[in-house]
Chains A and B, each alone.
Chain A
């Protein structure tokens, strides 16, 4: 059993190591404006964060993570490059009684630096790896950037690419879209009937269906009908391209082998070339920091089910003998998040968090 005092001491020790590495200590309010988090994560966050209301500020959430407030703070006041560390409780509502903590410590390290992404990725990963070395954890890595590049490289319409990228973080929905666009799943009958019906004029069909009702206008309905018409005209994704995507999604190898595989795939899908080169540069940067980069586990789909903001390198450290525990550490690159929160400005950023309670538990009282 880990006491609160032990967790606090462990958090302080971990944060001291981040300060040692050059990070500036930042604080974040526990009460965060709900709107920002809802716009970013969608309504699902309501099921996972504690929502409360303030008579003046309106809806608030107990902070479910530090990344969002730290990024907002940096986008408003920070100069790049910057290294930050924070330490405190985060709060996650648990809907199922499976023993997961609803409040726990997070100690984090975030690096905002656009000069050399590979070096920044390696700096963050190596820092966590060194700190956690005594625990004998197993590292997993992935790269969402390769998936995004693969979707961008498909020989298909922008509408389809946008739809696929929007659901990159919802694997089941992503697969359903692949099946639909690849012609592996039939178009719903009602869709076929609708397209037949609008052949005699879209506006007339909308008017015949019912009166204007609500904020979404008939023009918006007509615009989407035209998109569906275009979609119906568009040829299915080729089986070859679907196979490539499938191969990437299921890629699970050591980093050295994964890189080799991806290079081969890039011959047929040149769009992933830059992302593969970034991966190669990162592996070199990791090796330069003394990490055995070639044998690191690489899973192309790693990080797809987390909160959706990672868009490049992702990593996690797990205790191999305790599969019941959540990852001790997780992190990754989130350039797109800074764009969303920076109102147009964006700053390449990478970071990660440690859960000191888990470190304490696994260290079993060792210093």
Chain B
């Protein structure tokens, strides 16, 4: 058995991951045709490259089918219950920055903090007869954050894309989504609450539990860690 390193299979996240490892003397590359998801590792022994969708890497790590993986810190927290008992954050990698935030319409001048959101949600429920809707695909992270802030009388509605448009389309009153520049929020007349930052995400190298590792895997891992500094 060899150590398997899961890396996002396409796009900027893959390229940046390759660059990051290259800077540390480890060359990752795709092999075969452009469309074939196969890869090779040079510069260190006993590591196998597995190309995967970034969204699946947390699950594969937690299940122990890969031992190392690069993915967003937000995805790990969202997809793995009790993640910090199952995975170790080895290195934040300094790219793939995105903030998971809570945003409301700009003209809500009465709402600037999570406390305000809670009070507005209570009034909204009295007025409209249902709980204020927050559109998101980050259900676990958002629910935990709102609970921590003591927000009640809200409901989460699932939105897998174009989340900023849900307010205008009357399917939600507020949103919780990732943003890097805030451009889309502004274009949709939304503002971020001043304490509405749920998680600052970036691409991160994670490791799963070491149960079941062979001597050889442990030795190869030690060499890898040395290289990564």
Contact = CB atoms under 8 A, between A and B. Distances in A.
B115 A176 contact: yes
Interface in B127-175: 127-128, 131-132, 139-140, 143-144, 146-147, 149-150, 152-156, 167-168, 170, 172-173
A246 to B, nearest CB: 19
B194 A190 contact: yes
For B115, B153, B167, B190, the residue with the greatest tally of chain A CB atoms inside 10 Å of its CB is B115
A4 interface: no
B120 interface: yes
Contact of A213 (B147, B154, B189): B189
Contacts, number: 112
B167 A214 contact: yes
B109 A209 contact: yes
A207 B131 contact: no
A339 to B, nearest CB: 16
Interface string B91-112: 0000000000000011111111
A122 to B, nearest CB: 33
Interface string A190-217: 1100100110000001110111111110
Contact of B156 (A39, A43, A190): A43
A26 interface: no
B106 A213 contact: yes
Interface residues of B, number: 46
B82 A97 contact: yes
Contacts of A95: 81-82, 140
A147 B175 CA distance: 35
A216 B134 CA distance: 13
A218 interface: yes
A43 B143 contact: yes
B144 A210 contact: no
Given A47-B144, A213-B189, A42 B152 contact: yes
A188 B156 contact: no
A127 interface: no
Interface in A162-207: 163, 166-167, 170, 172-173, 176, 188, 190-191, 194, 197-198, 205-207
A167 B150 contact: yes
Interface string A286-329: 00000000000000000000000000000000000000000000
Interface of A: 38-39, 42-44, 46-47, 95-97, 163, 166-167, 170, 172-173, 176, 188, 190-191, 194, 197-198, 205-207, 209-216, 218, 220-221, 223-225, 228
The 10 tightest CB contacts between A and B, nearest first, are: A173-B150, A210-B106, A213-B105, A214-B167, A210-B107, A224-B110, A190-B112, A170-B150, A209-B107, A210-B189
